[in-house]
Amino acid sequence: MFVDSHCHLDKLKSTEEHGIAKVLADARAAQIEHMLCIGVALDDFAQMQKIVGKHGDVSFSCGVHPLYVAKHGFSESELASLCARSDVVAVGETGLDYFYDKEHIATQRESFARHIEIANEVNKPLIIHTRDARADTIDMLREGHAEKCRGVMHCFTESLDMAEKALDLGFYISISGIVTFASAEELRDVVKHVPLERLLIETDSPWLAPVPHRGKENQPAFVTHVAECVAKLKGVSIEEVAEVTRDNFYSLFNIKRN
């Protein structure tokens, strides 16, 4: 049984066309036992929960994505109160993305700092989106004492050096379908070096479908291909990757297994 530590169930075309029941049924048929559905903006948080509904095998996070913050903005008190809810297990996704948006760096940083504060206040882990902002991301996590709440570097595509700095802060590294892409040699090297006990796996669906599904819409059921690739790189069985990443997930997000 697998866990998809990062997906956007409300953003799938499949959800729109066939309803959430089909996505969840396909995931369960592929032995996905838990999914973490990630919030990207406060103004669509309620809608996300409504579309996805209440299920024992789906948890939610709440936060404002670095690429959404300039457009959507947010109220700090609203973020804090949503993150304190018992059905929210993590704060994010938040972080810094200088690859897609260099214009709003100050806004991204301000938002990221608030998310770190709130994660420590509510004592829930952070879900970090980081791209081309290695030094700033690590510096801000250190300044904000994110080693207290800890968290995960989601859809990791940065260097081994950055991964090691994140591990030092008690963070986990989450691997997406990118690891199966031919061009992802550096990421495969990161996977070889990071202990399995500190790895998570994710789809980031609807984006980034792994080989052999590239070009299709990604969905939680496809996380098995990420596990398979990680297993090969680690020289262990896919069952071991499934079991250890699942235990890592439940422990970081403080979720009781059904």
Tokens of 178: 């990118």
Scanning residues 71 to 130, which ones bind Zn ion (CB under 5 A)? Answer: 129
Whichever of 96 and 122 has its CB closer to Zn ion, that residue is 96
Is 8 one of the annotated binding-site residues? yes
For the segment 32-71, give every residue that binds Zn ion (CB under 5 A). Answer: 38
Nearer to Zn ion by C-beta: 44 or 243? 44
**Do the annotations mark residue 145 as ligand-binding?**
no
Residues in Cβ contact with 50 at an 8 Å cutoff, skipping those fewer than 6 apart: none
Residue nearer to Zn ion on the CB measure, 7 or 20: 7
Residue 127 or 241: which CB sits closer to Zn ion?
A: 127
* Burial of 172 from C-beta contacts in 10 A (0-12 / 13-18 / 19+): buried
Q: Which token pair is 141?
A: 């996590």
Give the nearer residue to Zn ion in terms of CB position, either 131 or 237: 131
Q: Is 204 annotated as a binding residue?
A: yes
In angstroms, give the least distance from the CB of 235 to Zn ion.
29
Least Cα distance to 1 among 249, 254, 253 occurs for 249
Instruction: Please tell me whether 115 is known to bind a ligand.
Output: no
131 near Zn ion, judged by CB under 5 A? no
Q: Answer yes or no: is 168 a known binding residue.
A: no
Q: Residues 62, 221, 163, CA angle at the centre, nearest 5°?
A: 55
* Positive or negative: CA dihedral 246, 251, 254, 257: positive
Least spacing, CB of residue 236 vs Zn ion, in Å: 27
Please indicate if the annotation marks 121 as binding a ligand.
no
β-sheet with 88-97: strand ranges across: 2-7, 32-37, 58-62, 88-97, 126-131, 151-153, 172-175, 199-201
Binding site for Zn ion (CB under 5 A): 38, 129
Which residues define the annotated binding site for a divalent metal cation? Answer: 6, 8, 93, 129, 154, 204
Which residues define the annotated binding site? Answer: 6, 8, 93, 129, 154, 204
